[in-house]
Amino acid sequence: MEEPQNGGTNLSTIPEEEEQAIGPGPAPRARPKRPLQFEQAYLDSLPSANMYEKSYMHRDVVTHVAVSSADFFITGSVDGHLKFWKKKAVGIEFAKHFRSHLGPIEGLAVSFSSLFDCMRDVIIPFSVSFLLVKSSTMTCSVMQVSADGLLCCTISSDRSVKVYDVVNYDMMVMIRLPYVPGAVEWVYKQGDVKANLAVSDRNSSFVRIYDARAGSNEPIISKEIHLGPLKVMRYNPVFDSVISADEKGIIEYWNPATLQFPENEVNFRLKSDTNLFEIAKCKTTVSAIEVSPDGKQFSITSPDRRIRVFWFRTGKLRRVYDESLEVAQDLQRSDAPMYRLEAIDFGRRMAVEKEIEKTETAPLPNAVFDESSNFLIYATLLGIKMVNLHTNKVARILGKVESNDRFLRIALYQGDRSSKKVRKIPSTAANVNESKEPLTDPTLLCCAFKKHRIYLFSRREPEEPEDATKGRDVFNEKPPADELLAVSDIGKSVTTSLPDNVILHTTMGDIHMRLYPEECPKTVENFTTHCRNGYYDNLIFHRVIKGFMIQTGDPLGDGTGGQSIWGREFEDEFHKSLRHDRPFTLSMANAGPNTNGSQFFITTVATPWLDNKHTVFGRVVKGMDVVQAIEKVKTDKTDKPYQDVKILNVTVPKS
């Protein structure tokens, strides 16, 4: 469904002998798909880490995230609180906190310069303001942005609008509406005197335009655009047009100055010549609309779990990405490792998806474009996908290993990380290679289903701090009661009497391992007690997979036996500072959540997909060559070595 190009086959140019041919001809040769030029350069300007680098807390569930081109991140939660975060050269820092309303915020929109303008060599600094609205019954559901980066708006069922200056942290204007708004969008270009704001009526088909800078409660112009109430709209500043959708999925284009069809900006006159009826034909609605920075495309997300990409000027469909649960199940059954999950993990994620469908207050997912307009980014059951629109292939998946977080709403930052606003572009490839630090710090800001946190994906994996209390999940607010209880339980169970190292003597050499009794006291107690009692003596490594791990600890030698020192299965002990992020990690084998017994394994590569599924309780500090030697032994079809490799005994220091 590529955008139609001029030209075609002219019958008069076909050779005469081809015209006289009788019978079916061979299938036409498929044109080879050209790769996207400079694809790697575009990917280098996008987040790439498998795990989120940092997360920060709100006091309640986060429903809104937005990025301002003035280097501010703004986030809102269901308790009516707003937080402002300043973008630094690396990461963000807290700026200010407002208790904007006593009830939940229904809609939040933060202004930022369009990425089309941000790609210029000279970036003009400016102050940023935003609008926000209060609600007493509903959670946040709308987020829209103006094109010049100066203003931001929100709507609410309480019919009030507040305008804040983000840089000066001051409320500028309050606007009261005589009706309940349904959707809102900034509809002016950068440099316009008036900051026009389009607001729809939730109970009628009227759209009204206001001058937000004037602060007047009277609209400049109003008109009925749709046959029914307008639900979503998005301004395309490149073509000075608005794309809107009503509650039945009917899509319209209109000019914000005249509220008429923009004939001079599009290449069609009748919607029957386009695919704009696609949403209505599928009997679904529009959840969110996002416009590409170059204005040539826009994306639509819908409750049917399909992401549709349209060409703006022709109204034709370019791509349709099906992220339905049926497709997810088919991918799970496929042999593609990029899309597969462990069966237990997949089942749990499917349950979360069904819960999201029943939760009306969940943030509405969106699909955003990168600054080059070549990549589409959206959150799915599997993680956050980055799709190359040119080749129609998934280029990258972020957060696949974050099995406890279902990301929904996202906002992309690709601004200049330096204090200078004039970028210097290297003249040669050699200069690019000489630069050790990137000019930008691309960051993806996300909120997740029923989570009190905002999550930041960058090009850096999370660091493992020496102090476990200073991990990637920052406790900048008082944790909820359940988190406090979990922390207190861990604190009570910590004991300093447990050994923190052991030596595994095998038939191929010694393996020295450091243990983590403070982080995983029950697991370490079980393991070291078995070691002292000789439980592991003469047991074989019954499962060895090259490029993955070596496993032992089963008295039966086939992976089906073994029990804990308590004679029953015991619970997992996951710790944020202990992950499968490197080879030679010591971890517990299990048959599912909280089914630990006596079996354990040592990884030979980083295995982040095992995080929060298997308890990491140690690391190999000496004898890595022994682990690698065991890894290389020949095995049968069940991954069992032909020649037994045994644990002779285990040395445990006296505690």
Nearest to 182 by CA among 133, 147, 217, 220: 133
580 is catalytic: no
C-alpha distances (whole Å) from 490 to each of 218, 321, 574, 595, 612 are 59, 44, 11, 19, 16
Q: Which CATH superfamily is domain 501-651 in?
A: Cyclophilin-like (2.40.100.10)
38 is catalytic: no
Determine which one of 126, 268, 548, 574 is catalytic. Answer: 548
| 123, 422 contact by CB (below 8 A) | yes
Determine which one of 590, 596, 599, 612 is catalytic. Answer: 590
Please report, for the chain, the start and end positions of each structural domain, with discontinuous segments joined by +: 62-114+136-400, 501-651
The topology (CATH level 3) of 62-114+136-400 is: Methylamine Dehydrogenase; Chain H (2.130.10)
Determine which one of 580, 610, 612, 619 is catalytic. Answer: 610
Element (H, E) at 300: strand 297-301
Q: What pLDDT is stored for residue 83 in this prediction?
A: 87
CA distance 576 to 594: 17
Q: What pLDDT is stored for residue 159 in this prediction?
A: 84
543 is catalytic: yes
Q: What pLDDT is stored for residue 184 in this prediction?
A: 85
Determine which one of 543, 579, 580, 619 is catalytic. Answer: 543
Determine which one of 308, 614, 617, 619 is catalytic. Answer: 614
CA angle in degrees (0–180, nearest 5) for 195-200-206: 115
Q: What residue type is 584 in one-letter code?
A: F
Position 372 pLDDT exceeds 50: yes
Determine which one of 196, 551, 596, 599 is catalytic. Answer: 551
Hey, do 62-114+136-400 and 501-651 end up sharing a CATH topology, with the first three levels equal?
no
Q: What pLDDT is stored for residue 26 in this prediction?
A: 58
User: How many C-beta atoms lie closer than 10 Å to residue 454's C-beta?
Assistant: 26
590 is catalytic: yes
Determine which one of 417, 601, 612, 619 is catalytic. Answer: 601
| 234, 221 contact by CB (below 8 A) | no
- Residue by residue, DSSP assigns 129-173 as EEEE---SS----B----SBSS------TT-EEEEEETTTTEEEE
* Residue pLDDT, tens place only, 597-609: 999 999 999 998 8
Mean of the per-residue pLDDT values of the chain: 83
Secondary structure (3-state) at 265: helix
| 298, 292 contact by CB (below 8 A) | yes
Annotate 214-244 with b (16+ C-beta within 10 A) or e (fewer). eeeeebeebeebbeebbbbbbbbbbbbbbbb
* Residue pLDDT, tens place only, 266-286: 999 999 999 999 999 999 999
Q: What pLDDT is stored for residue 31 in this prediction?
A: 65
Q: How confident is the model at residue 130 (pLDDT cuts 50, 70, 90)?
A: very low
264 is catalytic: no
CA distance 515 to 524: 7
* Residue pLDDT, tens place only, 150-188: 777 777 778 887 777 777 777 788 888 899 888 888 888
